[in-house]
Structure 1
Amino acid sequence: MLNIKKYAAIDIGSNAVRLLISNIIEQKGKPAQFKKSSLVRVPIRLGSDVFVNGEISEDNKVRMLDTMTAFKLLMKSHKVVTYKACATSAMREADNGAELAKLISKKANISIDIIDGEEEAAIIAATDLHSYIKEDKTYLYVDVGGGSTEFSVFHNGNTVTSKSFKIGTVRLLNDMVKNETWHEVERWIKRVTESYDKVDLIGSGGNINKIFKISGKALGKPLTYFYLTSYYNKLQTYNYEERITELDLNQDRADVIIHATRIYLSAMKWSGAKDIYVPKIGLSDGIIKSVYFNTVSSINL
């Protein structure tokens, strides 16, 4: 006897807003299965407002309200039973972030939790990440967002340490990251990985997923440092318009992908990693799992 129900996760990032709807399939005596049913991504770049001006613009407030209203209707149409909406660094740092969350709660009837970097890392760790981790290996996990990057070290199957830094693609695009922040990340990565003989990277985020897709590699196979360096150099030979027309990148991906690649390459260089594995996981997946296992609160529809 199967029991199937739908859960939803809303991820309000600095570069885009996502709605993930997943089927939870329960069967007696077997672990629950999580299958993606629908994923909607809307490129509302909140970070460009917040990291430059300190608040979300009137135009993006309207777009956010429209998007959340549409997400609510989609969840209703899909017969979602419960959801959780999480906002990360852009909403967290916006002077009017809490005010916008209240407006969305009132007008769209969607409740938003504004979470910090540590909670974000913990939710991501609740994903299928451990199924990609071999217990006899050491990994540096790197999740690149628009406003921040979350790093975690896994050794012998366990999380050793995690840290969030304010280095993200939208911040870099707007020249909002100081050299000292880069040096801080470099020192941290070298310190937490120096005692291990060999470290592999695990990368998550829309940009590395896109690069992995372009590479044509089979799922589970890594990208090499050499491949990523070559692709990084290739990207820089095209201007923004050419990246859209000739490399077939979306307009909201074409300007940030270079910055994302730089973060992954830097992490590989400082940890000595020669390979980066790219499982298709992210904050939305972690929210679904966390809601199912009751490690975070959720809202019933």
Structure 2
Amino acid sequence: MIPNKAAIIDMGTNTFHLLLVELYDQRFETLYKEKIPVKIGQGGISFNTIHPEAKKRAFHTLQHFKNLIEGEGITNVFAFATSAVRNADNGPEFVEEIKEKFQINVNVIGGVEEAQMIYEGIRFSGSLQNRTDLMMDIGGGSVEFIIGNQHEALWRKSFEIGGQRMLDLFHYHDPILKEEVNNLTAYLAEKLAELEEAIKVYKPVGLVGASGTFDTLTDIYYASLHQVKLKDQQVFQLPRNEFEIIAQKLLTMNKEQRLKIPGMIPMRVDMIVVASCLIEYILQLLPVDLLICSSFALKEGAIAQLMGKHSLAAAESR
């Protein structure tokens, strides 16, 4: 008998996610999900270290997650960590401590593997059609870009330019200064030269944003229309001109004002300014009229991989 319940722990640079699911051959059911702004990159990411306070927050959250997992009687636990942990000098020691304290094995995934899992999550959401799209996921530590269609990822790369890094480097004033935006744009032009080349080669025609910032941007857009997102919907559309209006507004506001925007969630309020600047930059490289937003990303990509293995094992046991 294959255990068909699983727990996914996604230890992102900004947010830790817990997803408890029941797996079937072609679908999954969410039993419980929670996200906590652990901000493991805060205070240390620019120095390639995990700050003691960030570690404390991480352990507190993992204890909470472990209690929920055990309460659900789940033994199949898949935990993975991304940019902040993979680049931290004390990352291996941190992972070892987690194993000792919580009996959780954390898989520290590389950038290309992270991009592939994000692609599988986006594909699983139904966001991709029979055309070539540029996909992006803005994390706290890294940003993943994938060019592909619903059949395959043609190109994928992870860039260590995530929201927390951009914040630390450029966002010193609130509201952000024009000069800081210009410096950030110049930095992106330098760091994303490889992406620009890939866009010229593969000629994507659409832009798909995964989770995180894109969830919040669509929340703000839907709130402006006095509409509510449907719980079982995974794909949302954000017209470019509506994004531009939101982005311009974000540049002129301080944190207190941003928090009052209908649809804004507190855990995104700091990074959303630099993340919007990054999206603006990408729209210069790929001028589209519509942003497609997938609520599925890395953790759903992990589920897609698990389901593949689950249905394979089920077939073998028949």
TM range (shorter): 0.7 to 0.9
**Partner-residue secondary structure (3-state), 2:9:** strand
> How far off its partner does 1:208 sit?
0.8
Distance 2:36 2:115 in 1: 22
Residues 158 and 40 of structure 1, relative CA distance in 2, 3 Å threshold: same
1:155-200 Cα deviation digits (max 9, x unpaired): 4743211111111111111017976651245433332223566611
| Bigger shift: residues 246-255 or 94-103 | 246-255
State the AA in 2 paired with 1:106. Answer: E
Distance 2:51 2:204 in 1: 46
> How far off its partner does 1:114 sit?
1.0
1:54-84 Cα deviation digits (max 9, x unpaired): 3222222222122212211111112224121
Residue 270 of structure 1: aligned partner: 285
Q: CA RMSD in A?
A: 2.5
Aligned residue runs from structure 1 range 146-161, under 5 A: 146-155=140-149, 157-161=151-155
Distance 1:192 1:38 in 2: 38
Distance 1:57 1:187 in 2: 31
What is the aligned residue count? 287
Is it true that 1:215 corresponds to 2:221 in the alignment? yes
Aligned residue runs from structure 1 range 154-233, under 5 A: 154-155=148-149, 157-175=151-169, 181-194=187-200, 199-216=205-222, 220-233=235-248
Is it true that 1:96 corresponds to 2:71 in the alignment? no
Is it true that 1:42 corresponds to 2:36 in the alignment? yes
1:184-221 Cα deviation digits (max 9, x unpaired): 45433332223566611000131111111221277545
Q: Kindly, what percent of the aligned residue pairs are identical? A: 26
Residue 137 of structure 2: aligned partner: 143
Residues 128 and 165 of structure 1, relative CA distance in 2, 3 Å threshold: closer
Residues 235 and 247 of structure 1, relative CA distance in 2, 3 Å threshold: farther
State the AA in 1 paired with 2:94. Answer: L
Distance 1:204 1:103 in 2: 31
Residues 87 and 196 of structure 1, relative CA distance in 2, 3 Å threshold: closer
Distance 2:203 2:105 in 1: 45
State the AA in 1 paired with 2:169. Answer: D
Distance 1:163 1:231 in 2: 28
Between Structure 1 and Structure 2, which shows a larger proportion of strand residues?
1
1:254-293 Cα deviation digits (max 9, x unpaired): 1111111122222222122222101211111111222232
Residue 237 of structure 1: aligned partner: 252
Between Structure 1 and Structure 2, which shows a larger proportion of helix residues?
2
Residues 4 and 265 of structure 1, relative CA distance in 2, 3 Å threshold: farther
Residue 298 of structure 1: aligned partner: none
**Partner-residue secondary structure (3-state), 2:4:** strand
Are 1:198 and 1:272, in contact at CA under 8 Å, matched by a contact in 2? Answer: no
**Partner-residue secondary structure (3-state), 1:11:** strand
State the AA in 2 paired with 1:36. Answer: T
**Partner-residue secondary structure (3-state), 2:140:** coil
Consecutive unaligned residues in structure 1, runs of 5 or more: 26-30, 296-301
Consecutive unaligned residues in structure 2, runs of 5 or more: 171-182, 311-318
State the AA in 1 paired with 2:268. Answer: R
